[in-house]
Amino acid sequence: MRGLVTELSRRLDAHQRGRIAELDLTPTQAKALEELGEPKTARELAGALCCEPPNVTYVISKLEKQGMVVRQPHPLDGRAKQLVLTEAGRELRLDLLRRMGTESPLDHLSHEERAALRDDLLKALGRDEPPR
């Protein structure tokens, strides 16, 4: 069983890395774009990416230079800045998400089979969630 889970994980990782590379992004830049569907502070993004704020600053600076992200004043905290996707950043994020969802190793599973696999994996991880 563990071997099958490991093989699936490797295939999913290879698929993800390939799709990210098509867009000339690093995996961390791609994850940042995914997480910035809603504006976040650098600290919030660092938490979502499980890394230190200085690492996020580097990633965001690169995305900012590419015109994908801007820093704006936080609407509730005048001391903080929010990271907000530009129009180009939103388009790139949508393209990334679309690419990640095509030709996946799970594509041959039906919607019901994918939902059952998700539920079984959550259960195995001890993260039972209510049905959607």
Q: What are the beta bridge partners of residue 82?
A: 72
| pLDDT tens-digit map of 21-75 | 999 999 999 999 999 999 999 899 999 999 888 888 899 999 999 999 999 988 8
Q: Is 61 helix (H, G, I), strand (E, B) or coil?
A: helix
Q: What is the mean pLDDT of residues 7-28?
A: 92
| DSSP conformation class of 40 | B
Residues near 129 by Cβ (< 8 Å), separated by ≥ 6?
122
**Do 26 and 17 form a contact (C-beta atoms < 8 A)?**
no
pLDDT at 130: 54
Amino acid identity for residue 96 in this structure: L
For all residues of the chain together, what is the average pLDDT?
90
Topology at the third CATH level for domain 1-101: Arc Repressor Mutant, subunit A (1.10.10)
pTM score, whole prediction: 0.79
